[in-house]
Chain A
Amino acid sequence: MIKKFDKKDEESGSGSNPFQNLEKSAVLQEARIFNETPINPRRCLHILTKIIYLLNQGEHLGTTEATEAFFAMTRLFQSNDQTLRRMCYLTIKEMANISEDVIIVTSSLTKDMTGKEDVYRGPAIRALCRITDTNMLQSIERYMKQAIVDKVPSVSSSALVSSLHMMKISYDIVKRWVNEAQEAASSDNIMVQYHALGLLYHLRKNDRLAVTKMLNKFTKSGLKSPFAYCMLIRIASKLLDETEGGHDSPLFDFIEGCLRNKNEMVVYEAASAIVHMPNCTARELAPAVSVLQLFCGSPKAALRYAAVRTLNKVAMKHPSAVTACNLDLENLITDSNRSIATLAITTLLKTGSESSVDRLMKQISSFVSEISDEFKVVVVQAISALCQKYPRKHSVMMNFLSNMLRDDGGFEYKRAIVDCIISIIEENPESKETGLAHLCEFIEDCEHTVLATKILHLLGKEGPRTPQPSKYIRFIFNRVVLESEAVRAAAVSALAKFGAQNDDLLPSVLVLMQRCMMDSDDEVRDRATFYMNVLQQKQKALNAAYIFNGLSVSVPGLEKALHQYTLEPSVEPFDIKTVPLATAPITEQRTEMAPIATSKLPEKLAPSRQDIYQEQLANIPELHGLGPLFKSSELVRLTEAETEYVVCCVKHTFARHIVFQFDCTNTLNDQLLQKVIVQMEPSEAYEVINYIPAHSLPYSQPGSTYTLVRLPDDDPTAVSCTFSCTMKYLVRDCDPNTGEPDDDGYDDEYVLEDLEVAVADHIQKVLKPNFGAAWEEVGDEFEKEETFALASVRTLDEAVSNIISFLGMQPCERSDKVPENKNSHVLLLAGVFRGGHDVLVRARLALADSVTMQVTVRSGDETVVDIILACVG
Chain B
Amino acid sequence: MLSLSLLQEPSLYTVKAIFILDNDGNRLLSKYYDPGLYPSIKEQKNFEKNVFNKTHKADNEIAFLEGMTIVYKGSIDLFLYVVGSAQENELMLMSVLNCLFDSLSHILRKNVERVCLLDNMEGVYLVVDEIVDGGVILESDPQQVLKKVNYRADENPLSEQSVAQVLQSAKEQIKWSILK
On A, residues with C-beta under 8 Å from B are 1-6, 9-10, 13, 16-19, 45-46, 48-49, 52-53, 56-58, 82-83, 86-87, 90, 119, 122-123, 126, 154, 157-158, 161-162, 164-165, 191, 194-195, 198-199, 201-202, 205, 227, 230-231, 234-235, 237-238, 241, 264-265, 268-269, 272-273, 276-278, 300-303, 305-306, 336-339, 372, 374-375, 591, 593, 595-598
Residues of B close to A264: CB separation below 8 A: 91
Flag if B148 contacts A18 (CB, 8 Å). Answer: no
How long is the Cα–Cα vector from A57 to B20 in the complex, in angstroms?
Answer: 12
- Bound together, the chains give a CA A596 to CA B66 distance in angstroms of 9
Contact assessment for B62 and A301 in the assembled complex, using a CB-CB cutoff below 8 Å: yes
Contact B94 A300 (CB under 8 A): yes
Please state if A2 and B67 are interface contacts (CB–CB under 8 Å). no
CA distance A265 to B27 in the complex (A): 30
Chain A, residue nearest B36 (CB):
A600
Complex Cα distance, B139 from A157, in Å, reads: 9
A336–B64 CB distance below 8 A: no
Chain B 1-25, CB-CB to A under 8 Å as 1, else 0, gives 0111011111110000000000100
Q: Are B60 and A16 in contact (CB under 8 A)?
A: no
B114 at the interface (CB under 8 A from A): yes
B56-75 near A? 1/0 per residue, CB < 8 Å: 00111111111110010111
B7 touches A241 (CB 8 A): yes
Closest 8 CB pairs of A and B: A597-B67, A58-B41, A198-B12, A3-B180, A301-B61, A234-B10, A265-B91, A337-B60
In the complex, chain A residues whose CB is within 8 Å of the CB of B144: 154, 191
A18 to B148, CA, bound (A): 26
B167, CB-defined interface residue at 8 Å? no
Are A90 and B133 in contact, with the CB atoms below 8 A?
no
A241's partner among B3, B11, B74, B76 (CB-CB below 8 A) is: B3
Given A56-B30, A198-B12, A157 contacting B138 (CB threshold 8 A) = yes
Please measure, in the bound complex, the distance between the C-alpha atom of A311 and the C-alpha atom of B169, giving whole angstroms: 46
Q: A227-B92, A303-B91, A338-B60 are in contact. List 9 more A-B contacts (CB 8 A).
A: A2-B73, A2-B177, A4-B180, A5-B23, A5-B77, A17-B114, A17-B118, A235-B10, A276-B8
Are A597 and B86 in touch, CB under 8 angstroms? Answer: yes
Chain A residues near B149 (CB-CB < 8 A): 86
B160 within 8 A of A: no
Q: How far is the CA of A306 from the CA of B2 in the complex (A)?
A: 21
* Chain A neighbourhood of B12, CB < 8 A: 161, 164, 194-195, 198-199, 202, 231
Contact assessment for A302 and B62 in the assembled complex, using a CB-CB cutoff below 8 Å:
yes
B166 interface residue, CB < 8 Å from A? no
- Chain B residue contacts of A372, Cβ below 8 A: 54, 63-65
Q: Of all chain A residues, which has the CB nearest B172?
A: A9
Across-interface contacts of A305 in B (CB, < 8 A): 61-62, 90
B127 to chain A minimum Cβ distance, whole angstroms, is: 11
Q: Is the CB of B65 within 8 A of A126?
A: no
Q: Are A195 and B129 in contact (CB under 8 A)?
A: no
Docked Cα-Cα span, A83 to B153, in Å, equals 12
Scan B114-134; emit 1 where CB is below 8 A from any A CB, else 0.
Answer: 110011011101100100011
Give every chain A residue within 8 A of B90 (Cβ-Cβ).
Answer: 268, 302-303, 305-306
B64 CB contact (under 8 Å) in A52, A230, A375: A375
Q: Which residues of chain B are near A306, meaning CB under 8 Å?
A: 89-91
Decide: A13 and B115 in contact? CB cutoff 8 A.
yes
Confirm or deny: B106 has a beta carbon within 8 angstroms of a beta carbon on chain A.
no
- Tell me how far the C-beta of A269 lies from the nearest C-beta in chain B, rounded to whole angstroms: 5
Interface residues of B in 69-102 (CB under 8 A from A): 71, 73-77, 85-86, 89-95
Flag whether B29 is at the interface (Cβ < 8 A): yes
The answer to whether A56 touches B29, judged by C-beta atoms less than 8 angstroms apart, is: yes
27 A-B residue pairings within 8 Å (CB atoms): A1-B177, A2-B75, A4-B180, A10-B77, A52-B125, A53-B121, A82-B150, A83-B123, A86-B126, A86-B149, A90-B126, A122-B148, A154-B139, A158-B138, A164-B12, A164-B136, A165-B133, A195-B136, A198-B11, A198-B136, A231-B10, A264-B91, A268-B91, A273-B8, A302-B62, A302-B71, A596-B86
B77 in contact with A13 (CB, 8 Å): yes
CA distance A5 to B139 in the complex (A): 32
> What distance in Å separates the Cβ of A360 from its nearest Cβ neighbour in chain B?
20
Taking a contact as CB atoms under 8 Å apart, the answer to whether A265 and B60 are in contact is no
Give the chain A neighbours of B2 by CB distance below 8 A: 591
Q: How far is the CB of A315 from chain B (nearest CB, A)?
A: 15
Q: Are A227 and B60 in contact (CB under 8 A)?
A: no
CB-CB < 8 A to A87: which residues of B? 122, 125-126
Known contacts A2-B76, A56-B30, A372-B54; A238 and B7 CB within 8 A of each other? yes
B137 within 8 A of A: yes
Question: What is the minimal beta-carbon distance from A9 to any residue of chain B, in angstroms?
Answer: 7
Q: Residues of B within 8 Å of A, CB-based: how many? A: 70
Contact assessment for A302 and B77 in the assembled complex, using a CB-CB cutoff below 8 Å: no
Interface hub of A9, A49, A269, A277 (most chain B Cβ within 10 A): A49
**B49 CB within 8 Å of chain A:** no
Interchain CB contact under 8 A, B139 and A191: yes
Query: Which of chain A's residues have a CB closer than 8 A to the CB of B59?
Result: 2
Residue ID in chain B nearest A378 by CB atoms: B64
Max count, chain A CB within 10 A of own CB: residue among B29, B63, B123, B150: B63
Q: Decide if B60 touches A336 in the complex (CB within 8 Å).
A: yes
**Is the Cβ of B85 less than 8 Å from the Cβ of A597?**
yes
Closest Cβ of chain B to A206, distance in Å, is: 13
Complex Cα–Cα for A717 and B11 (A): 60
- Distance in angstroms between the alpha carbons of A306 and B90 in the assembled complex: 6
CB-CB under 8 A for A276 and B89, given A56-B27, A302-B62: no
Q: In the complex the two chains form, is A336's CB within 8 Å of B58's CB?
A: yes
B103 adjacent to chain A (CB < 8 Å): no
**Smallest CB-CB separation from A42: which chain B residue?**
B155
**A49, B45: Cβ atoms closer than 8 Å:** no
Please name all residues of chain B whose beta carbon is closer than 8 Å to the beta carbon of A161 when the two chains form the complex: 12, 133-134, 136, 138
Q: Which residues from A are CB-within-8-Å of B76?
A: 2-5
Q: In whole Å, how far is A262's beta carbon from the nearest beta carbon of chain B?
A: 13
Nearest CB on A from B55, distance (A): 10
**Nearest-CB residue, chain B, relative to A337:** B60
- For residue B151, CB closer than 8 A to chain A, the reply is yes
Contacts of B115 in A (CB 8 A): 13, 16-17
Q: How far is the CA of A375 from the CA of B71 in the complex (A)?
A: 16
CB < 8 Å neighbour of A234 from B8, B119, B125, B180: B8
> When chains A and B are docked, how far (Å) is the Cα of A596 from the Cα of B67?
6
Given A4-B76, A58-B45, A269-B89, is A301 in contact with B136 using a C-beta cutoff of 8 Å? no
Whether the pair B41, A595 counts as a contact (CB closer than 8 A) is: no
Residue pair A265, B126 in contact (C-beta under 8 Å): no
**B59 to chain A: closest residue by CB:** A2
A28 to chain B, nearest CB (A): 18
Given contacts A49-B122, A337-B62, contact A595 B86 (CB under 8 A): yes
Q: B138 touches which one: A191, A230, A231, A237 (CB < 8 A)?
A: A191
Contact of B3 among A46, A164, A194, A278 (CB under 8 A): A278
Find out whether the CB atom of B77 lies under 8 angstroms from the CB atom of A337: no
- Give Cα A431–Cα B115 distance, bound, in whole angstroms: 60
Q: How far is the CA of A198 from the CA of B180 in the complex (A)?
A: 46
User: What is the CB-to-nearest-CB distance from A710 to chain B, in angstroms, rounded to a whole number?
Assistant: 38
Residues of chain A contacted by B6 (CB below 8 angstroms)? 276, 593, 596
A119 with B148, Cβ < 8 A, contacts A161-B12, A241-B3 known: yes
What chain B residues lie within 8 Å of A230 (beta carbons)?
A: 89, 92
Evaluate contact between A302 and B91: CB separation under 8 angstroms: yes
State in angstroms the CA–CA spacing of A156 and B19 once bound together. 27
- Residues of A contacting B64 in the complex (Cβ-Cβ under 8 angstroms): 339, 372, 374-375, 595
Give complex CA distance A79, B27 in Å.
31
In the complex the two chains form, is B10's CB within 8 Å of A276's CB? no
CB-CB under 8 A from A591, the residues of chain B are: 2
Per the bound structure, the CA–CA distance linking A306 and B88 in Å amounts to 10
Q: How far is the CB of B71 from chain A (nearest CB, A)?
A: 6
Alpha-carbon separation in the docked complex, A6 to B76 (Å): 10
Question: When the two chains form their complex, are residues B63 and A339 in contact, meaning their CB atoms are under 8 A apart?
Answer: yes
Chain A residues near B119 (CB, 8 Å)?
18
Which residues from chain A contact B148 at a C-beta distance below 8 Å? 119, 122, 154
Closest to B27 in A: A57
